[in-house]
Structures are given as C-alpha cells and as structure tokens.
Amino acid sequence: TVLSAFADGVLTLTLNRPDKLNAFNEEMHLVLRAGFERAHADASVRAVLLTGAGRGFCAGQDLGDRDPRKGGAPPDLGRTIELFYNPLIRLIRILEKPVICAVNGVAAGAGANIALACDITLAARSARFIQAFAKIGLVPDSGGTWSLPRLLGEARAKALALTAEPLDAETAASWGLIWKAVDDAALLDEAKALATKLAAGPTKGLGMTKRAIQAAATNSLDEQLELERDLQREAGRSTDYAEGVAAFLEKRKPEFRGQ
C-alpha cells in the first residue's frame, strides 16, 4: 500500500493504491506511519519525500471501507481520525527533518490536507486540490481547518471548504497554498533533487528552523525571539555550523553531516 525507498539520505514514501487514487485504508495508514516513524528514529534519514503512484496523489479516506448502504450503526469517524489521521499529521509536523510532498495528481479530502501538512509541497501542473468533505457532509480534517486559514486567510479557506471546488496547482501556488507548480513530467525529478539537496544540508539546523516557524503560529513576538535565541545557541554548537563557516572561509562546498 506504500512503497518505501531509501537513497542519498532521502526516504521516499509512495502511496500505492493507484486503482483507488491512493485512498486510505487502515493498512495504508499503518505502513505510512511506520515510514514516518523510521524517519524519526533513523539518523541516516535526513529528508522525507511523499508522493503517490499512478494518476492521483491521494483521494482521502477510502469511502468504500464504510458503505452506509450495508446498514448497521453509523461508524465512529472520530475514532478513525484519532487513531489514524491525527497521529500522521502530528508525526509529519514533529519530525525535525524536511518533509517534501510531490503532489502528482488529484489530492482530495484528507489527501489534500496531508499534502498541506508537509514542509515543502510541489504539485504537477495537472494536479487539483479538493476539499471534498462538503460533498459528503463532512468537515475538513487532517489539520485542514487549521492550515487553510493560516495559508490562505479566512475568505479563501471558507470558499474552498464550503464549495469543495477544485483548485488547480498554479492557483494553489499563486495563493501560497503550496510552494510551486511544475510540469507534470518534471515533478518527480524536481522533488527528488530538492529532497536530496535538503538531505545533504545541516539537518539539525533545518529541523530547528522548521520547529521555530511552526511555533510562530502560537507564539508572541517576544516568545519567538526567545525561542530563536535558544535554538541559535544550540545551532551554534553543532558541527555543521563549524563546517559551514569553515567551508565559507575556505571558499569550498560544505560537507554537512546532519549533526
């Protein structure tokens, strides 16, 4: 359900249920989570690249998994969220390493919001982002009600969530929802090159940069200035900082070890 490949410090996780546009079932959740847990635990992993196999990125929850026509009590969607989606979003955000997302095709429902939870999201020009929840009477999840207004402001966030209209990749980029839209044929190469470059970077400093930017969502300026001081103190003690400065002075490329 999820393909995993490791090269040059990059752990590539490819959602792989292409006939369902990579919609999530429980197994796919568990395998994807195991991938992100590996990224946490394994120091040789210095960046993660998330993408999808086939023509879609991810169509959100597999709606065939809980067919209401089969009768019985309504499913507890809160439980599904608590057990599967929320832990995934937290793992992506807490991971102190860059997470790059290559949205290769349609990203709908939870699939769209998982893409938005990643640190740098690129999308194929043909990709679409759809807050599909409203079409089936649900509420945006996987952090969508948090990330959409932050990235877009309330006006665009509400319009997307209430109408479930698809947003094309170019517009998503021009609105600041994602980093950029690239030609379909170039997407994976470009995302891989970016992930590989970041994986060769000063991982500790990059991880703390991610943490600081995320903390700004709830911090005052004073709290943020203090956080920057503390993180800079820690970064200043890293071997990658010493290497970065030495390389600059010696006019050569730095060789970062991620420490």
Q: Kindly list the residues in this chain that would bind ligand LHQ in the complex (CB under 6 A).
A: 20-21, 23, 59-64, 77, 80-81, 85, 106, 108-110, 130, 132-133, 135-136, 138, 141
Closest to ligand LHQ by CB, 59 vs 194, is 59
Q: Residues with Cβ < 8 Å from 213, sequence gap 6 or more? A: none
How remote is the C-alpha of 253 from its chain's centroid?
A: 29
φ/ψ (deg, to 5) at 4: -125, 130
* 3 state DSSP class of 63: helix
Closest to ligand LHQ by CB, 45 vs 117, is 117
Closest to ligand LHQ by CB, 62 vs 228, is 62
Closest to ligand LHQ by CB, 130 vs 148, is 130
Closest-CA residue to 123 (of 62, 167, 59, 60): 167
> Minimal distance in Å, beta carbon 118 to ligand LHQ?
16
> Minimal distance in Å, beta carbon 20 to ligand LHQ?
4
> Minimal distance in Å, beta carbon 124 to ligand LHQ?
14
Closest to ligand LHQ by CB, 130 vs 181, is 130
> Minimal distance in Å, beta carbon 71 to ligand LHQ?
17
Closest-CA residue to 189 (of 35, 22, 83, 51): 51
- Report residue 194 as tokens: 């970016």
| Cα separation values, 239 from 81, 102, 107, 172, 258, Å | 40, 31, 39, 38, 8
Burial of 167 (0-12, 13-18, 19+ CB in 10 A): buried
Closest to ligand LHQ by CB, 45 vs 118, is 118
> Minimal distance in Å, beta carbon 178 to ligand LHQ?
17
> Minimal distance in Å, beta carbon 29 to ligand LHQ?
10
Asked if residue 53 lies in contact with residue 59, where contact means CB atoms within 8 angstroms, the answer is no
